[in-house]
Amino acid sequence: MSTAADTKTTAAEAEAVRAEGAPTAAPAPAPVREPAPEQEPAPEREPAPVRDPAPSAAAPDPARAAGGPPALRALARWLRAAALRSAAILALLAVWEAAPRLALVDSTFLPPVSEVAAAWWELAGNGQLAEHTQASLIRSFGGFGIAVVVAVPLGLLIGWYRPVAVLLGPLLEVFRNTAALALLPVFVLLLGIGETSKVSIVVYACVWPILLNTISAVGNADPTLVRLARSMDLSTPRLFQKVILPASVPAIFTGIRLAGAVSILVLVAAEMIGAKAGLGYLINASQFNFAIPEMYAGIVTISAIGVAFNQLLVSVERRLSLWRVPA
């Protein structure tokens, strides 16, 4: 019995000592705290609607800011290109205006460009310029159109069929080296002094550039493409449509553009010989009447028509050559 009591007393004392802690014992290490459990993420809140800031002087309109700088850069590029293209013409006009006024040339025979512009405006105001321009354009464009209709199919035929080229080659060489103006008296003698002779001389002058360029274009078509098309059993009309004509368009239009310039120049010379209307007649009559500003006004009008007609042909060529890869 005493043994059991002593055991309980000893256990009680050990428990008391363990609770109070021995004074000489080393301090117990700090208890390690367990990491706090991860908190669940808070539910996402819908973003509040963003209000457009009030327009101010410091912040420009977004629509205007978005389209402003690119538009200004495009406008600057266009103005720079236009100034570069027109620099030579503006320099020529400045020299033309200054030379007569500085007595570098006789103003009687070369009046300043301002006087020429005034004469041109006067002719446009009284209707004479429109009348002469209309007469010249009808003759020129009529002859040019006939030449295109005749020369392009004939050039395709000669360029594609070798026997036809061999047969007509010497004849073409003879006539293409004969100047159109040299044959003008022949046309006048055979066809009279009316409209027929003028349109005919334009047709004759325009045929050769178109014809020769068309023959060259067909002859220089890529033979690999031609053989490939033939291997696909394409008929001759389809071969012309899919291979020959697309490959020939640039060279054909080179001849057409040359013919467009020739049509105006030859017509003016024809109108100087025998006509009662037209820009050539206006220039010749102004020279005889010593109306020098009116004469230069007619010359400037012819130049402007030539430039506009050439740009029209360039636009048509680009329209028909959309398949070409730009360089």
Q: Cα separation of 247 and 210, whole Å? A: 16
Contact 251, 214 (CB under 8 A): yes
Contact 156, 244 (CB under 8 A): yes
pLDDT value of position 150:
92
This prediction's pTM = 0.68
Q: Cα separation of 113 and 5, whole Å? A: 141
Identify which of 108, 90, 91 has the alpha carbon closest to the alpha carbon of residue 100. 108
How far are the Cα atoms of 25, 272, 274, 275 from residue 192, in angstroms, in the given order? 143, 15, 10, 11
pLDDT value of position 235:
76
Task: Take residue 170 and report the two structure tokens written for it.
Answer: 């010497």
pLDDT value of position 13:
52
Q: Cα separation of 76 and 304, whole Å? A: 26
**Is the Cα dihedral 144, 145, 146, 147 positive or negative?**
positive
Q: Cα separation of 96 and 107, whole Å? A: 10
pLDDT value of position 46:
52
What topology is assigned to 113-321 in CATH?
MetI-like fold (1.10.3720)
pLDDT value of position 33:
54
Instruction: Return the percentage of the chain with pLDDT > 70, whole number.
Output: 77
Buried b (16+ CB within 10 A) or exposed e, 64-101: eeeeeeeeeeeeeeeeeeeeeeeeeeeeebeebbebbe
Domain parsing of the chain, residue ranges: 77-110, 113-321
Task: Take residue 24 and report the two structure tokens written for it.
Answer: 């000489």
CA dihedral 117, 120, 122, 127 (to 10 degrees): -160
Contact 180, 201 (CB under 8 A): yes
How confident is the chain (327 residues) per 10-residue block, as mean pLDDT? 47 49 46 50 52 49 53 81 82 89 87 91 89 89 91 87 83 82 84 83 90 85 77 77 80 88 85 81 88 90 88 82 56
